[in-house]
């Protein structure tokens, strides 16, 4: 059945979101139609405001600061020589909620199984390498990080992603580690409870 243009446009937009299939997108669009006009407007404005969120030029997490670094990267209490490589923003949020990690992050996205990174991932990896290689006086790490922790999911894909990036980053760090194996195998960092994830940070090896 042909849907009116305004509904079709919203369905198209929603179905591009992760985990939303075409049927769910239609269901959501009809749900929104039955919301009040004020609620629809508020949602549209709030989504539009997301455009103002900036991306940190060092770790690629979000921020709203004046300069180009996020709250974690500008915090002098966080060790910049200890870097955890993670897949996505929601993993960072889960890890921060544990309060156990005092280093900084680099969000690299989902590393493809082929080992061939997307162009934007190559740029992020290059930016991380340059930061490590840059002299200490220039705000870099002078050639080597103290520790690079691979914080990918404890799945076979996560293992593969780690081994792909170890080849790239291994020479640039004094120590390579992974989150402790206390995480349920096959589970996801994003959904691990604080205690389990916190002990995985403590027991990294
Ligand atoms: Zn940052």
Strand 82-86 and strand 104-107: pairing?
Answer: parallel
Separation of CA 74 and ligand 1 centre (Å): 7
Separation of CA 95 and ligand 1 centre (Å): 14
Average pLDDT over residues 183-188: 74
Closest by Cα among 144, 162, 160, 143 to 204: 162
pLDDT tens-digit profile of 49-96?
Answer: 999 999 999 999 999 999 999 999 999 999 999 999 999 999 999 999
Specify whether the CB–CB gap between 103 and 78 falls below 8 A: yes
Separation of CA 52 and ligand 1 centre (Å): 16
Q: What is the pTM of this model?
A: 0.84
Q: CATH class for domain 5-52?
A: mainly alpha
Q: What does the pLDDT read at residue 184?
A: 73
Tell which CATH architecture fits domain 57-202.
Answer: 3-Layer(aba) Sandwich (3.40)
Computed over every residue of the chain, the mean pLDDT equals 94
pLDDT tens-digit profile of 124-174?
Answer: 999 999 999 999 999 899 999 999 999 999 888 999 999 999 999 999 999
* CA distance to 70, 78, 107, 121, per residue, from 62 (Å): 6, 17, 11, 16
Q: Where are the domains positioned within the chain?
A: 5-52, 57-202
Separation of CA 69 and ligand 1 centre (Å): 5
């Amino acid at each position: 059945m042909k849907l009116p243009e305004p509904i079709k446009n919203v369905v198209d937009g929603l179905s591009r979101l992760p985990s939303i299939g075409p049927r769910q997108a239609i269901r959501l669009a009809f749900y929104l139609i039955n919301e009040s006009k004020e609620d629809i407007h508020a949602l549209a404005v709030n989504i539009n405001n997301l455009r103002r969120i900036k991306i940190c030029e060092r770790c690629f997490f979000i921020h709203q600061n004046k300069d180009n670094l996020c709250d974690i990267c500008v915090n002098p209490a966080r060790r910049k020589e200890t870097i955890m490589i993670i897949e996505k923003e929601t993993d960072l949020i889960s890890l921060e909620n544990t309060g156990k990690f005092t280093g900084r992050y680099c969000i690299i996205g989902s590393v493809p199984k082929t080992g061939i990174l997307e162009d934007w991932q190559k740029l992020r990896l290059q930016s991380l390498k340059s930061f490590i290689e840059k002299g200490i006086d220039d705000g870099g790490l002078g050639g080597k990080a103290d520790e690079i922790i691979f914080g990918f999911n404890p799945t076979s894909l996560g293992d593969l992603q780690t081994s792909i990036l170890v080849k790239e980053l291994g020479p640039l760090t004094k120590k390579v580690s992974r989150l402790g194996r206390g995480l349920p195998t096959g589970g996801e960092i994003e959904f691990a409870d604080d205690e389990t994830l916190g002990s995985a940070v403590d027991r990294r090896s």
